[in-house]
Structures are given as C-alpha cells and as structure tokens.
Chains A and B, each alone.
Chain A
Amino acid sequence: MKNDKSIETKLRSAVSHAVPDALDDILSACDHEKGKVIYMEKKRTSPLRSFAAIAAVLVLIVAGVFAMKTFGGSSADTLAAVVSLDVNPSIELNVDKDENVLSAKGLNADGKTVLGDMQLKGSKLDVAVNAIIGSMLQNGYLDDMANSILLSVSGVDGYNAETLRSKLASDVNKQLKDCAVLSQDVSGADSETVKLAEKYDISVGKAALIRQIVSADARHSFEELAPLSINELNLLADGKSLGTIDSTGKASSKAYIGRDAALEAALKHASLSKNDVRNIDIELDYEYGSMVYEVEFEVGTTEYEYDINAATGEIVWYEKDSGGNIEQGGSAIDGKDSVGKDKAVQTALKHAGLTSSQVTQLEAKLDRDGGKLVYEIEFRSGNYEYEYEIDASSGSIIKSEKDLDD
C-alpha cells in the first residue's frame, strides 16, 4: 500500500514536470473561439452524462425527459397504476391510464439520490423508467456486482397491471444487458404485506418479495431480510419458488469470494484438504447480518458446518459435530454467549418447575435462529418431552414446548 502511494506520488510529480506550458496560447485562442466550439452535447440536456456503456443510449432518453417537461405532459389524468422500482434505492411512480407519470417519489434516501432533480412529472412511464435506471447506473447502484432490479406494478380500479408489468420487464431487460429482473403485479397485495412494508419503510413490492423468500425458506425472518438489497434477496431466492414473481436473468455474485474460496477457507480452518472430506454442500445464505457461504462437509462420522462471510472470507460461525460432541466458534458467537449453557439450562428447568435430578436425556446446544444466537434445550421428565429456546445474549425464553410422549 505504501509502495502504491509512492508510485502514485512519483507519477504525479513526473507528469507535472513533463507538462508543457500552453496557457498563453490557450488564452489568445479563446478570443477567437468563444461560442464556436461545442464538443459536448448541446446545452440544457441533462445533468446525467457519460456513464457505463449499457447506459449510453439512456442519456438521450433522459434528455427527452427534460424536453417533455417543457413541451408536454399537461394531462391531469387520474391515478391508474403505481409502479415501484427497487434495487436498493426504492422509487415509486404514479401513472395515469395513458402511462403518463403523475408523480415520482424516492422511498428511501438512495431513491431520493437517484431521482436528484430530475423532473419526471408529465413524461411517459417508459421514458421515466429509462431515466431512473440510467441514474442508478450513474450513481453506482446497478453494476456488474449488483445487477438485480425489482419492478412492482399495482393497478387502481381494475387497471391491467399485468400487461404493464410484462411490458416494463421486457423494456428493462432490453436496456440492461446481463441484468436480473424480478417483476410482479402487486395489485392484490394483502394487508399484512402492506403493514410490513410500512413498518420497515420499504416498498410493498419489496415486502411481497421478502414474504415469498421467507415462506420458501423458514430459516429466514422478514425482519432480518428487510435491509437487504434486491440483488442479495435475489441471490437468496435462487432456486426457490417465488410464487407469482416473474424472474429473468441471474443475480450477480461477483461481489463475493465464490464457492471455491469459501470451501478453501473452511477446509483450512478445519485443517483438512478437499480429498479428506465428502458430501460437500455450499449455499449462499444470510446469517448474523451478512451474506455468507454456508459450507457443509463430513469426515467419517464428524459433520462440519461453516458460515463464511461471502465478501471477506471471515469465519462467521462454525460447528464441528463428532457424534454429539459439539464444538462451536466463529466471529459471530465468540464472546457473545453472555448467558452460558448452565444458566440457560437452569432457566429452562425453572420454567418447567423441575430440578436437574428430575430430568433425563438433557441436551443443550448453542444454535442460531434467524441470525440470533440461542440455546436449544431438550429434556424429558415423566411422560413429557420438553423443548426450549433461550436467547443466548439475554437469557430470555424465546420458545417453550411440553409434549406428552407416547
């Protein structure tokens, strides 16, 4: 790093010494040139200029948006549909039945950044969507490391949202090569989805997507997934049924170290080589507040499970299970188990109204549940089987079950 800097400093100095002095020539030439030479696009186009190749064509379209503002879009039609675009920025567009934009709103801070001072009111919806995507590219919200976008359309008073959804999805697919587009009609979103969207301050469309993922994989909770970007959600959704959500393209995992590197990190920690292990299973997941590679393998009767931070390769959590003899660790749990196994067991027993001498087959295991560290405690007494989940950081009882065992 230090050497990088010194090369950079040397280059800076070398160039500053090599530069000719052209100022006098420039100043005298300016007198003749003022107003003649126009190398840039013509004036008063857009503040959006020159970004990624995929967006190049969009620049012209953005210019069109500004023209629209001046010349057209005076129709004061009523709201027919609401279109939301989620990437991480979240933007909502209200449109009339002729697909003219009535208003545009950033639903989060990033969404507001993307909209900037673009005036989309009065422009056509497809033009506005192009402009927004262009701005997302320019602002770095969409790139080859995060290429997923969620389009959600909601129709008002019987407006055909499905037609609009499929048209927008195909438009976006055409404009953004190598992108992943999720799209859905959320006209029929239930009140629970709307409530969750409000509670977590996200679009109804994103809330609907998260609910689909949670219902396909119960290990996740809504709360845990709400802050994720659409690309992260799309990675988690990979291979799962998403109900009525249309999905094209593949979410990018280029921001991550990759499966091979994750396996390597896990094997290195376990002091094993790839040839030693069998039943290797690697899956991208979200645990303890970060994207992780969940790596599993076996050696003899010993099972290994690792959560490797997908971006950094850090070992977030691991468990080595040798026939019930469990060893655990990792940055997410080391030093975070403030309650301790004994205290957790005491809490469960006290709740059950039993003492340790009255129970058999006592098992206590540190585990995670939706990113939370918990003790799973099981024991039997009489004809009953007890099951507890105790929060490992607070000691509070999350779950208690008592079943008649017959």
Chain B
Amino acid sequence: MLFMTVATSEYSEAKVLESLLARIAKGDKEALGELYERTHAAVFGFAMSMASTPADAEDVLHDTYLAVYSSVESYTAKGKPMAWIMTIAKNLARMRMRKARRQLDIADDDWGRYLAAKSEVSSDERVLLQTAMKILSDDEQQIVMLHAVAGVKHREIAAILDMPTATVLSKYSRAIKKLRTVMEAD
C-alpha cells in the first residue's frame, strides 16, 4: 500500500511539472516561477555537488532555469521532467567547470562562509552539508543530491550521469552509510 502511495505521488508530481513545462512553452512566466519554487532546491543541491564554489552553484541554478525557459520546446513529455531539468543543470555545470577550476581549499572556505551567511541554515545543517562535500566523492555527492534531495530515481540518475544503474545503487548506499557513520560519530 505504501508503495502504491509513493508511486502515485511521484507520478502526479511529474504530471504537475510536465503541465508547467507545457505552459512555459507558451511563454507563461508564472509557470516558470512555479516550476522554480517546486524544483530549485533540488537543482541547487545538485549544483552544489558539481560546482566548486557557491558562486558557480548559484550561476548553474540561474542558467538552468534560463535554459529550461529557452529550450522547453525540446522537452518530450515522457514522465521524467526532473531528469530532463537535471540533465540541463549537469551540462551547464560541466561547461562551467571546464572554464574555471579553482583550488579546493579555497572553495571549502567559500562554502563555509556562504552557508554561515544563510540565516535559515542551522549549524547542524551546515555541518551536514560541509561534511557531505568533504567526505563524499564527486560522484557520490551528485548521486546523493539527485536521489535524496531531488527525488530522481536511480535508473534515471544512471542515465543522467552515464553510469550503470548498479553502480549508482552501490555508490548511493555507500555514500549514505559513510555520511551516517561520520554524522553519528560527531
């Protein structure tokens, strides 16, 4: 029964996003706003896992919605709107990474400052996010953000990141385990 409920809610969320995309295709900016509200945390989480600095992540977030708006006609309704949006975010982040690679330690400080400046982020949450960025590999961060935060299915993650589904599954469980061990030890 629980499974049914989950499946239905995922299904209807995809439907909602698809109907928003259809409205955006007609130039409806209100629909873009609504799409943003529903998905921007997920996109930003994924951007955090790919971008080395907060500024880069913010740019990826910004450019993703711009790209959604300008290329929405290329979306084919297949029930996977989130995977489509995340693919755009991934492409943008990769282009950006090629342009500018920064020192990791500098980036670390940047994130610390960025998160500390966000009043909504509790200190526990700051520790969790920084720990995740520190102890998880890039792949693991991306997979965790896509699944835990954005709710993208493992199979779709495999498609977005060009990986076998089994790899995604094992990386995900390993990452969550690592994160849990470290967080519980603290």
Residues in chain A within 8 A of chain B (CB atoms) = 3-4, 7-8, 10-20, 22-23, 25-27, 29-30, 33-45, 47, 49-53, 56, 138, 140, 143-145, 254
Contacts and interface: CB of A to CB of B under 8 A. Distances in A.
Given A15-B145, A18-B48, A41-B74, A26 B180 contact: no
A37 B176 contact: no
5 contacts: A12-B148, A33-B66, A33-B69, A34-B69, A38-B71
B138 interface: no
A36 B70 contact: yes
Interface string B17-51: 00000000001010011001100111011001000
B44 A30 contact: no
B61 A52 contact: no
Given A11-B149, A18-B115, A143-B158, 8 more contacts: A11-B45, A14-B129, A22-B62, A23-B37, A25-B62, A26-B65, A43-B73, A138-B159
Given A17-B122, A17-B125, A39 B44 contact: no
B67 interface: yes
B48 A37 contact: no
B58 to A, nearest CB: 5
Interface stretch (B5-13, B86-94, B102-110): B86-94
Contacts of B179: 7
B158 A30 contact: no
A50 to B, nearest CB: 5
Query: Which residue, of A8, A26, A37, A38, has the highest number of chain B Cβ atoms within 10 A?
Result: A26
Interface residues of B, number: 61
A253 B184 CA distance: 36
Contact of B70 (A34, A138, A254): A34
A49 B91 CA distance: 13
A12 B41 contact: yes
A15 B29 contact: no
Nearest to A38: B71
B166 A254 contact: yes
Given A15-B41, A18-B44, A50-B87, A26 B62 contact: yes
A17 B129 CA distance: 11
A13 B122 CA distance: 10
Nearest to B111: A18
A15 B128 CA distance: 10
A27 B155 contact: no
Contact of B162 (A29, A30, A42, A53): A53
A13 B168 CA distance: 23
A22 B58 CA distance: 8
A145 B158 CA distance: 14
Given A11-B148, A17-B122, A40 B74 contact: yes
B149 A15 contact: yes
Nearest to A6: B180
Contacts of A12: 41, 148-149
A34 B114 CA distance: 31
Given A11-B148, A143-B166, A34 B159 contact: no
A50 B114 CA distance: 33
B78 interface: yes
A15 B44 contact: yes
B13 to A, nearest CB: 14
B118 interface: yes
Contacts of B32: 26-27, 30
Contacts of A254: 166
B128 A10 contact: yes
B88 A7 contact: no
Nearest to A12: B149
A8 B166 contact: no
A51 B48 contact: no
Nearest to A17: B120
Query: Which residue, of A20, A35, A51, A254, has the highest number of chain B Cβ atoms within 10 A?
Result: A20
B66 A29 contact: yes
Contacts of A47: 76, 78
B173 to A, nearest CB: 8
B118 A17 contact: yes
A29 B67 contact: no
6 tightest A-B contacts by CB? Answer: A14-B125, A17-B120, A15-B45, A8-B148, A16-B41, A19-B44
A10 B62 contact: no
B16 interface: no
Contacts of B115: 18
A205 B159 CA distance: 30
Contacts of A10: 124-125, 128
Query: Which residue, of A10, A34, A40, has the highest number of chain B Cβ atoms within 10 A?
Result: A40
Nearest to B130: A14
Contacts of B74: 38, 40-45
B62 A15 contact: no
Contacts of B160: 50
